[in-house]
């Protein structure tokens, strides 16, 4: 609109966000690991659109994290950026310190960081280096984040942890067995800490199927027909953008999920439907 200021546009964006989304996290603080890009960024922004102040974690994606923070502020909320390598316990401790001090509390932690060995197109291409890295990020990193955030939440009197898993555990991965193994490990982490932290802190796994993040769209196999094949095998007939399932993941941190802990919740368009 001619003459409209940036402030006017920001206010309009904030009003639109408040009108479009439920306010499930008003007054709460949400931490999302790996929030500089992809699914993590969309979870962080959706949390802000629903009223949360957001701690945006990143490791190398500083520019992406800055963009996520800008989107959070455009949604009318506050963001704090924190860098950490989640394969290091010392850095996770520092991340937890920063997360709890940024806004005086931490209500929800979303452990989103994971390595899918994206450049590996076949099991024949597996390397020991890739195995070590995937297991270090997906299993060690998720375990240490759950340990550090959760123990502090227990001491603080409450909280919720969401570990981002995958439906790869249903069928396995002929492409990258180390990825399937790592995601299976997250189930053990979730169930163990759900029992350890109960009844004060709930711990659950959210398992999306394939998501059309930019990194997925850039994959060689995705460009050469795999996307069409997967859509044809999915009952709902589409592969979602990350924003479409960000709110689904956050459901596990809402009051409506208050009697859910240690669960594995799937959102994959029916691709991996199994019998009772």
179 has catalytic annotation? yes
Q: Evaluate if residue 195 carries a pLDDT over 90.
A: yes
Q: How far is CA 60 from the centre of its chain?
A: 16
Confidence check: pLDDT of 14 > 60: no
Whether residue 216 is predicted with pLDDT greater than 90 in this model: the reply is no
Contacts of 46 (CB under 8 A, 6+ apart): 21, 243, 246, 247, 250
pLDDT confidence bin for 15, thresholds 50/70/90? low
Q: Which two tokens stand for residue 196?
A: 């350890």
Say which of 58, 179, 184, 193 is annotated catalytic.
179
Domains of the chain, by residue range, sit at 20-266
Determine the average pLDDT of the residues in 198-227. Answer: 83
231-275: pLDDT as tens digits:
888 889 988 899 999 999 999 999 999 999 999 999 999 998 866
Share above pLDDT 70 across residues of the chain, in percent, rounded to a whole number: 90
CATH superfamily of the domain spanning 20-266: NAD(P)-binding Rossmann-like Domain (3.40.50.720)
Phi first, then psi: give them for residue 274, nearest 5 degrees. -130, 160
Convert the pLDDT of each residue in 32-81 to its tens digit: 999 999 999 999 999 999 999 999 999 998 999 999 999 999 999 999 99
In 3-state terms, what secondary structure has residue 81? strand
Q: Among residues 119, 145, 67, 112, which one has the least CA distance to residue 245?
A: 112
Asked whether the predicted pLDDT for residue 4 surpasses 70, the reply is: no
**Which whole number is the average pLDDT over 153-158?**
97
Per DSSP bridges, beta strands 53-58 and 79-83 are: parallel
């Amino acid at each position: 609109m001619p003459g409209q200021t940036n402030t006017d546009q920001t206010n309009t964006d904030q009003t639109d966000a408040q009108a479009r989304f439920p306010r499930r996290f008003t007054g709460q603080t949400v931490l999302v690991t790996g929030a500089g890009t992809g699914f993590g960024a969309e979870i962080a922004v959706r949390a802000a659109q629903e009223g949360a102040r957001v701690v945006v974690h990143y490791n190398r994606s500083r520019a992406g994290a800055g963009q996520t923070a800008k989107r959070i502020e455009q949604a009318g909320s506050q963001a704090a950026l924190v860098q950490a390598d989640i394969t290091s316990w010392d850095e996770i401790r520092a991340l937890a310190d920063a997360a709890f001090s940024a806004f005086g509390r931490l209500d929800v932690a979303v452990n989103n960081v994971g390595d899918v060995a994206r450049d590996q197109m076949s099991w024949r291409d597996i390397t020991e280096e890739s195995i070590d890295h995937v297991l270090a990020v997906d299993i060690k990193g998720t375990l240490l984040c759950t340990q550090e955030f959760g123990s502090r939440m227990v001491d603080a009197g409450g909280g919720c942890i969401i570990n981002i898993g995958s439906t790869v555990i249903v069928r396995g991965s002929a492409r990258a067995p180390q990825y399937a193994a790592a995601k299976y490990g997250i189930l053990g982490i979730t169930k163990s800490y759900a029992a350890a932290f109960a009844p004060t802190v709930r711990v659950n796994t959210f398992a999306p199927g394939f998501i059309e993040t930019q990194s997925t769209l850039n994959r060689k196999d995705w460009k050469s027909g795999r996307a069409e094949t997967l859509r044809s095998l999915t009952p709902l007939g589409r592969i979602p953008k990350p924003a479409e399932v960000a709110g689904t993941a956050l459901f596990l941190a809402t009051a409506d999920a208050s009697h859910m802990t240690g669960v594995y919740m799937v959102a994959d368009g029916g691709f991996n439907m199994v019998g009772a």
